[in-house]
């Protein structure tokens, strides 16, 4: 006989959320937090499980944040799959889980006019191609932190620049939350899981493998002693160009904390890539470590 499915409780107002969490806090439970935009996949669930392994209660927020999308981006067609998401979360039943579904009216009430302006770490790469994106991300994440009051919040390395920016914001603004950044979860063939993968046609899904292949090439080049960043980037780009449909937004080797381009791979270095396939934009990254550790 199959086990009955218990969908996690849903909280829609800040008052409900705060009441429930204050009971948990009273019971000395550590609060873990996983902010998401829904359309959940194994990458999101790995964050939920990481939280459940060290926290007494986990809050998962599902909110497609309008302010982090540009006017010509995919906000209106971003997948919204609440029923599926709740069933996916029901499989994470190790410790109590709450789902927070904030409403637009409470996130951005009429007259809303206060923003988090992120610093230089938000300027290059995604920041340059998606102006205003990280301002929207930083603002919504700070608001969610203030609403949930988590002890620990979990983010994916998949969005490397975002995770770097959140760490910076937490340090800069003395936010009382610990940040954990968890490894990117991939499909068996290496494609990084993403809510946007579902937009890919079957042909583009195959072509998308070139992102992971180019990151593997970078790792191999570093392992074989190549240290010149321009040479590595050129070889990655050449590999991506073997797929004529793939349009490169950027390929970069950067300092893992400041995200400034590096000339040489001496210490840990992040390889960041963004590629468009059809109407879908994919990002991926890997940390290169010349010491091999
Ligand atoms: P999103 O719903 O795309 O805003 O993502 C919510 C969180 O899940 C972010 O911290 C992402 O970095 C993380 N995430 C997304 N995809 C993956 C993945 N493939 N592996 C690990 N974490 C991920």
- Pocket flag, ligand 1, residue 45 (CB < 6 Å): no
Q: What is the strand order of the sheet 269-277 is part of?
A: 246-254, 269-277, 280-288
- Pocket flag, ligand 1, residue 159 (CB < 6 Å): yes
At 184, list the tokens.
């990117």
- Pocket flag, ligand 1, residue 40 (CB < 6 Å): no
Which atom of ligand 1 is found nearest the CA of 184?
20
Known catalytic membership, residue 44 = yes
Ligand 1, residues 39, 42, 44, 89: which to mutate, most atoms within 8 A of Cβ?
44
Please report, for residues 178, 290, 292, the alpha-carbon distance to residue 220 in angstroms, rounded to integers and kept in the order given: 33, 10, 11
Instruction: Please tell me the predicted confidence (pLDDT) of residue 51.
Output: 98
Active-site hit among 41, 44, 72, 133 = 44
Which atom of ligand 1 is found nearest the CA of 35?
6
pLDDT in tens, 234-248: 999 999 999 999 999
Taken in order 226, 229, 234, 239, is the CA torsion positive or negative?
positive
Of the candidates 5, 105, 20, the one whose C-alpha atom is nearest the C-alpha of residue 59 is 20
Residue ID of nearest Cα to ligand 1 atom 17: 43
Query: Taking 80 as the threshold, does the pLDDT of residue 292 lie above it?
Result: no
Helix (H, G, I), strand (E, B) or coil at 270: strand
pLDDT in tens, 197-240: 999 999 999 999 999 999 999 999 999 999 999 999 999 999 99
Which atom of ligand 1 is found nearest the CA of 185?
20
Of the candidates 221, 216, 214, 274, the one whose C-alpha atom is nearest the C-alpha of residue 238 is 214
Would strands 57-62 and 280-288 be described as parallel, antiparallel, or unpaired?
unpaired
Residue 33 CA, ligand 1 centroid: distance in Å: 13
Instruction: Please tell me the predicted confidence (pLDDT) of residue 1.
Output: 59
């Amino acid at each position: 006989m199959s086990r009955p499915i218990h969908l996690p409780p849903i909280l829609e107002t800040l008052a409900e959320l705060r009441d429930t969490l204050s009971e948990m806090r009273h019971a000395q439970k550590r609060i873990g937090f996983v902010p998401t935009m829904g359309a959940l996949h194994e990458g999101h669930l790995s964050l939920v499980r990481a939280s459940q392994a060290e926290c007494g209660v986990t809050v998962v927020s599902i909110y497609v944040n309008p302010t982090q999308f540009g006017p010509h981006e995919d906000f209106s067609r971003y997948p919204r799959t609440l029923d599926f998401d709740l069933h996916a979360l029901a499989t994470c039943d190790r410790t109590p889980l709450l789902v927070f579904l904030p409403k637009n009216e409470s996130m951005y009430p009429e007259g809303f006019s206060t923003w988090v302006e992120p610093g230089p770490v938000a300027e290059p790469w995604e920041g340059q191609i998606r102006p205003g994106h990280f301002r929207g991300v930083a603002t919504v994440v700070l608001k969610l932190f203030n609403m949930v009051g988590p002890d620990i919040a979990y983010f994916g390395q998949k969005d490397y620049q975002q995770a770097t920016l959140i760490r910076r914001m937490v340090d800069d603004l003395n936010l009382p939350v610990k940040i954990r950044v968890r490894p990117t979860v991939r499909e068996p063939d290496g494609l990084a899981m993403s809510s946007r993968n579902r937009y890919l046609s079957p042909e583009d899904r195959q072509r998308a493998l070139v992102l992971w292949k180019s990151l593997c090439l970078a790792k191999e080049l570093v392992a074989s002693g190549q240290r010149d960043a321009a040479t590595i980037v050129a070889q990655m780009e050449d590999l991506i160009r073997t797929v004529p449909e793939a349009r490169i937004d950027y390929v970069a080797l950067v300092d893992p904390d400041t995200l400034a381009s590096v000339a040489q791979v001496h210490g840990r270095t992040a390889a960041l890539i963004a590629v468009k396939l059809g109407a879908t934009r994919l990002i991926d990254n890997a940390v290169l470590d010349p010491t091999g550790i």
